[in-house]
Amino acid sequence: MNDFGQFAKAQAPKLVPFLVTLILYFSLVRKDPQGELWTTVLKCLPIVALMFYVVAKGISLKKEYRRSLWILLGLVFSCGGDALLNINLFPFGMISFAVAHVFYISAFGWKPVQWLIGLVLYVTVSFFVYFVHQKLDEILIIGVPIYCFVITTMLWRSLARAVDSRNFLTIFCAIGAVLFVISDALIAVTMFVGVPLPCARLQIMITYYAAQFAIALSTANDGPAVRQSFRKKIK
């Protein structure tokens, strides 16, 4: 517990901007945004703060930091997706988030494969796509299924990695991936199915920011010296 406390103490200062921007967003944006510039900026700021965290905790072009670079790029495209969704450019926002997930998939890697996890997830998402596809228009009827399978692949790779390594950060990252899927599923059921969820925006954004936080924090043990020390301390 002492080792974990030291880890938390070391990371906390770098996460202060994220906490501050999170408070600003939920304090000032009280209703569904209507494409205003100020709400777009406030929505993107927590993701920008997570970019700052990934850079501030240490990053370079060396192989040991490759996962940090992929996740940083994922955050960049997530930020672009946030902005595009906020100004009601949903198809373009979806494309930006799909690219973000491709970078996350690259960060999580393909070993171990864990085919069973992937099979269960793909069967589940296939049923979901079948359920909602009749609600989609001619543009989204192609884009939404593709996006669903991309984000499902991201979830599969994060879960496979967590099952294999079983340390705190990989498990926390997998929880973040699950929350990301939940956040997008909430968008789908409210936007395409018309389910009137209570405080839908709050549910969507809380799970979304928690997801991105978990994914960004998973880079905390990147780097040769840090990773070796972390593996000894936190399991």
Torsion, Cα of 137, 142, 146, 148 (10° steps): 20
- Global pTM reads 0.93
- Evaluate whether 109 touches 161 at the Cβ level (below 8 Å): yes
- pLDDT beneath 70: ranges in the chain: 1-2, 224-235
- Mean pLDDT rounded to a whole number for the chain: 92
The string of pLDDT tens digits covering residues 132-146 is 888 888 789 999 999
pLDDT at 231: 52
DSSP single-letter state for residue 31: S
Q: Which two tokens stand for residue 94?
A: 């979806």
Give the pLDDT of residue 226: 55
pLDDT tens for residues 180-210? 999 999 999 999 888 889 999 999 999 999 9
Per-residue pLDDT at 150 = 98
Residue whose structure tokens are 């949903």: 90
Output the pLDDT for position 207: 98
Look at residue 235 in the predicted model and tell me its pLDDT. 45
What does the pLDDT read at residue 138?
Answer: 77
